[in-house]
Amino acid sequence: MHAGEFWIGLDFVHQVTQSEPHLLQIDLLDIDDNYVSMVYDGFLIGGKDDGYRFYVSISSKFLKGIRKDLLLSSNPHWNITELASIVLRHNRTKFITSDHINPSQTSSLTSKQQLFYRECSTWFRSGWWYVSPTRSSIYDKAPLLDSCRHLNLFQLMAPLESSHDHLSVKWNNWYHDDGDGDGHTPRQLRYIMMKIRPDNR
């Protein structure tokens, strides 16, 4: 396994996924070796002119009961469909970096709201398919960190604590349920693996 991070590039992923339907599989493993595996269909990354837009849906094969193995976990009591559905909030969003924001995505936002996009991208130390804000009150009343959590619901870099000493990978709605926490603290993850393949089954 590759030790470290490798960014293959959105142009390449666009070229691969536009040619035929693809599945996206996301595997999560937390620091206590609990795991979740989720498969999505309709995965596509748009081209440069489309802002490298992210397209995805929960696999219809799972929803119809045809493929029960598309959403798996180490705990049968977890609502994996709910965990998986958080990704759908990012469907059709454009890729945003701290130095580039698509005008078509932010034309209806105030300058203050657009600033949050840039600051959140800097805070998370990466570009991402940030969710477009729906409530202006988020930006008027919530601290920057809480606002970023609204924009970045599923994420690879997620500093959800007040200090940079607590930086870790998290999945925003996969909470601790061992009774030691408040039930609203996302689990710290050992790794996230994202894989794609043609949807030919």
pLDDT in tens, 57-102: 876 665 554 455 566 676 766 666 777 777 887 888 888 777 766 6
How do residues 135-187 score in pLDDT, each as one tens digit? 444 444 444 555 565 555 455 444 444 444 455 667 777 776 654 545 567 77
Q: Is residue 26 part of a domain?
A: yes
- Looking at residue 107, the DSSP 8-state letter turns out to be T
The segment with the largest mean pLDDT, out of 16-20, 83-87, 124-128, 182-186, is 16-20
Residue 3 resides in a domain? no
CA proximity to 40, closest of 18, 15, 67 = 67
- Give the model's pLDDT for residue 154: 54
For 21, list phi and psi in degrees, rounded to 5. Answer: -60, 140
The pTM of this model reads 0.72
How many Å apart are CA 59 and CA 82, to the nearest integer?
13
How many domains would you assign to the chain?
1
Instruction: Give a yes or no: residue 60 inside a domain.
Output: yes
AA identity, residue 182? D
- Are the CB atoms for 172 and 154 separated by under 8 Å? yes
Range of the domain at 194: 11-198
22-30 and 35-45 strand pairing:
antiparallel
**1, part of any domain:** no
Is position 115 within any domain?
A: yes
- Distance (Å, whole) CA 72 – CA 56: 18
pLDDT value for 196: 92
Q: In angstroms, how far apart are the furthest CA atoms of the chain?
A: 48
Is there a domain that residue 5 lies in?
Answer: no
Q: Residue 39's closest CA among 25, 22, 57, 21? A: 25
In a domain, 56, yes or no: yes
